[in-house]
Amino acid sequence: MSDIWIFGYGSLIWRPDFPHAEARPASIDGWARRFWQGSTDHRGVPGSPGRVVTLVEKPGSTCHGRAYRVGADARDAVIAGLDHREKGGYALRDVDILFEAGRAPVRGVVYIATPGNPNWLGRADMAEIAAQVAAAAGPSGSNAEYVLRLADAIRSMGAEDPHVFAVAGRLEPARLSAS
C-alpha cells in the first residue's frame, strides 16, 4: 500500500486531527465550496441543523484548501477515523489535487456530501444561511465558529472564497461585539 493524499476544504483545513507526514496548501479545479450541507452531529443538532460546507461541481471554479499526505502505515486507520468524523452525509471520492498552477496534479481523495444524503439542505440565500449559522451549535461547538475559522484559514493561505467570505462577513459584527 502507498501513501495517500487527502484534500480538506472545510474543518479539515483548520482541524486535521489525524497524523500526517506533510500538509500543503492545495486546490482542486471544477469544484466550488458551498454551505449546503446540514450538520446534526457537529455544528447543529437534529431538528436544528447547522450549515457546513460541501463541494458542488462548477466548471471553471477552483476550490482552495489544504492537502495532507498520510503515510502508508497510517492510511487505513486515518480513513476509518475520517469516515466516522464525516459520517453525517459525506462520502469519499477520488480527486486531482493541484499544488501549483501548471504543474501535474496528484491523485488523492476528498469527502463530499451530495444531494440526497439525509442531512442535505441545499441552496439558500446568504441572509438565510447566515441566520441559520448564527443560531446553530452542536457537540463540536458553534456553527459560527466553524464559519469564521474556515474564513480565517482561507485568508491565511492567501486564498479567496467569495461564498465563504460573504457568510463570514455577516457573522463578523457578532464576533466583534462579543470580544
| Interface residue list for ligand SIN (CB under 6 A) | 8-12, 52-53, 86, 111
CB of 102 to ligand SIN, least distance (A): 24
- Min dist CB 27 to ligand SIN, Å, is 13
The one catalytic residue among 22, 57, 86, 128: 86
Closest approach of ligand SIN to the CB of residue 18, in Å: 12
Between CA 41 and CA 71, with CA 94 as vertex, the angle to 5 degrees is: 85
Which lies closer to ligand SIN via its Cβ, residue 11 or residue 170? 11
Q: How far apart are CA 100 and CA 22, in angstroms?
A: 16
- 89: DSSP letter: T
Q: Which residue is nearest to ligand SIN (CB)?
A: 10
Alpha helices (H) along the chain: 11-14, 75-85, 126-135, 143-156, 162-178
86 catalytic, yes or no? yes
Considering the complex, state which of residue 53 and residue 144 has its C-beta at the smaller distance from ligand SIN. 53
* CA separation for the pair 176, 149 (Å, rounded): 14
Least separation in angstroms between residue 52's CB and ligand SIN is 5
| Nearest to ligand SIN of 130, 150 (CB atom) | 150
Q: Given the complex with ligand SIN, which of 11 and 27 has the nearer CB atom?
A: 11
Residue 55 cell numbers, joined? 463541494
Task: Return all residues near 21 (Cβ < 8 A) that are at least 6 apart.
Answer: 3, 69, 70, 71
Amino acid identity, residue 100? E
Residues designated as active site: 86
